[in-house]
């Protein structure tokens, strides 16, 4: 059995798709691309797909991850291209590597988020960020399955800052109007329990500085991976698999690529 790890995106209007919507679209793409999937046992077999820490509905993302199990070896890049062609535009399969290490989910310990606050002046956003970072705790509330829960949104935040622009992110013009004041925040947050989401941080900014954007905030996950304590950065979770591939080039995927018909 071969395992392939994929990175995919949620862009533009497709950020409003739920995780279940993505699952249905991806399973259809697997059938269209004729991927030799491994299936679970039992009365209702289903393809072996493992999803890791999906972004909330309504948020965009450049860094969503999943892993699939195959019964026959395939070249990861060729498989990525076939799946990407079979997915709706906006749900893009952008990277594929053969799994050479264990514990992908364990390497997703932090996320980098971009928050675009249209209608908010940058100086107002900076004052709110300063107040948030100066606070020891920032209690917020969120409705959960068992009712309203109060928790600290400050402790999970590693970094929160204003940035001049959002170069490098991908969103539609409708997501990024330019005819009014706009503040852009960059947020690095650890994955803790309960999870602290960007909207919890926004609630915290409202609590400590009365910052209330007049329109819904456009939120995009830029990266997720292992948080490096020394550098303060979030590392690429697929890097260990690429490094292992560089030291062990003769794998099942390489054999499949070499023996595939022209």
How many CB atoms neighbour CB 231 within 10 A?
8
The domain defined by 109-234 folds into: Alpha-Beta Plaits (3.30.70)
Q: What is the pLDDT of residues 3-49, one digit of tens each?
A: 999 999 999 999 999 999 999 999 999 999 999 999 998 888 999 99
d(CA 98, CA 85): 20
Q: Is the pLDDT at 172 greater than 60, yes or no?
A: no
Q: Is the pLDDT at 251 greater than 90, yes or no?
A: no
Q: Is the pLDDT at 86 greater than 50, yes or no?
A: yes
Q: What is the mean pLDDT of residues 195-206?
A: 96
d(CA 103, CA 93): 21
Which CATH code fits 2-104?
3.30.70.580
Q: SS3 of 63, please? A: strand
Query: What does the block give as tokens for 120?
Result: 């908010």
d(CA 237, CA 171): 23
Q: What is the mean pLDDT of residues 84-111?
A: 96
How many CB atoms neighbour CB 22 within 10 A?
22
Name the residue with tokens 């990407």. Answer: 84
- CA distance readout (Å), 51 to 20, 82, 148, 201: 11, 19, 27, 25
Q: Is the pLDDT at 166 greater than 70, yes or no?
A: no
241: nearest Cα among 107, 105, 97, 106: 97
With cut-offs at 50, 70 and 90, classify the pLDDT of residue 261: very low
With cut-offs at 50, 70 and 90, classify the pLDDT of residue 167: very low
d(CA 155, CA 223): 20
């Amino acid at each position: 059995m071969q395992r392939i790890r994929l990175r995919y995106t949620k862009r533009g209007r497709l950020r409003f798709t739920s995780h279940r919507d993505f699952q249905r679209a991806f399973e259809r793409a697997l059938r269209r691309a004729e991927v030799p999937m491994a299936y679970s046992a039992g009365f209702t077999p289903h393809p072996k797909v493992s999803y890791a820490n999906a972004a909330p509905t309504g948020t965009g993302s450049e860094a969503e991850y999943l892993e699939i199990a195959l019964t026959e070896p395939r070249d990861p890049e060729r498989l990525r291209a076939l799946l990407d062609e079979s997915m709706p535009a906006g749900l893009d399969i952008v990277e594929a590597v053969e799994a050479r290490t264990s514990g992908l989910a364990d390497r997703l310990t932090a996320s980098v988020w971009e928050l675009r606050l249209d209608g908010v002046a940058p100086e107002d956003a900076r004052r709110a960020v300063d107040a948030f970072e100066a606070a020891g705790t920032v209690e917020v509330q969120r409705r959960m399955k068992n009712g309203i829960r109060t928790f600290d949104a400050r402790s999970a935040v590693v970094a929160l800052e204003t940035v001049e622009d959002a170069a490098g992110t991908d969103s539609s013009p409708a997501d990024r109007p330019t005819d009014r004041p706009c503040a852009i925040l960059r947020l690095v947050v650890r994955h803790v329990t309960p999870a602290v989401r960007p909207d919890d941080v926004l609630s915290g900014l409202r609590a400590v500085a009365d910052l209330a954007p007049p329109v819904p905030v456009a939120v995009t996950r830029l990266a997720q991976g292992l948080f490096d304590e020394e550098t303060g950065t979030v590392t690429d979770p697929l890097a260990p698999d690429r490094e292992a591939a560089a030291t062990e080039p003769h794998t099942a995927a390489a054999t499949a690529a070499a023996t595939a018909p022209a």
